[in-house]
Amino acid sequence: MELAATLSKNTTGSQPWDGMLPRGMTCKACGKVLNATGGRPAELYLGTFTGLCYECERKPFFVERVDALDGARWVSYPPSCPSNRRDRVSHIGYADCTICDGNGVSQTTYQNWSWYYESCSACRTRYYGHPVRVKRQARHEQLYTAANAVWKGEVERIARTLLPKKAKKKAVKAAMESLYCHPRMAAIRREIFERYKRASGRLVAIENAALAAAVAA
């Protein structure tokens, strides 16, 4: 069952909900039933739910995937101590890095009985500095900026219909501000955002196809 569906089902019942997700949900990594024996309620309690069983959540670091573009490794780490349940975190590393040995973590810092992993900044800089990723980022920012401009333009257009013809800039601005969060604008905002998401998805597909072709060549 979808998590969202589960939540809406659980919160609309007449009984106050105890925060437990329904039995039978499985670990997204190994497929084992969560809290199967009833001895690990945290696996199914919404406040501590990570979609993983204890073993998978705490498994030592491993390479999740390697980018075809330049061999960047995404390394998955267990949540840092103390042992309250949290999501695993990924760090980026290159196999030839002498700082992190390709594991994406430059050091483990211990502090107040807990620790955290510090990302290797050399690998991060290398990853985000790759010209293909820089271009990609710029294109996505352009798309986002354009969508924002469409939204702002729409708000301004509607604001002007509510004001006299020769309204002052200040009045337009004030009307626009009251419109941004107006419930009647929600559908328009959603529509523009959905359009942006579709365009962004298409862009990602085109970029991935171009990348796959370049790697195969």
Which spans of this chain sit near Zn ion (rule: CB under 5 A)? 27, 29-30, 53, 56, 93, 97, 99-100, 120, 122-123
Closer residue to Zn ion in complex, CB, 31/183: 31
Dihedral Cα 14, 17, 18, 23, nearest 10 deg: 100
Q: How many CB atoms lie within 10 A of CB 27?
A: 19
Minimum gap (Å) between residue 80 Cβ and Zn ion: 19
Minimum gap (Å) between residue 99 Cβ and Zn ion: 5
Q: How far is CA 45 from the centre of its chain?
A: 22
Closer residue to Zn ion in complex, CB, 120/175: 120
Minimum gap (Å) between residue 45 Cβ and Zn ion: 16
Q: How many CB atoms lie within 10 A of CB 67?
A: 16
- What's 86's DSSP letter? -
Q: Which residue has the tokens 């579709």?
A: 198
Closer residue to Zn ion in complex, CB, 100/155: 100
Closer residue to Zn ion in complex, CB, 90/200: 90
Q: Which residue has the tokens 């990594």?
A: 29
Minimum gap (Å) between residue 109 Cβ and Zn ion: 16
Q: How many CB atoms lie within 10 A of CB 123?
A: 25
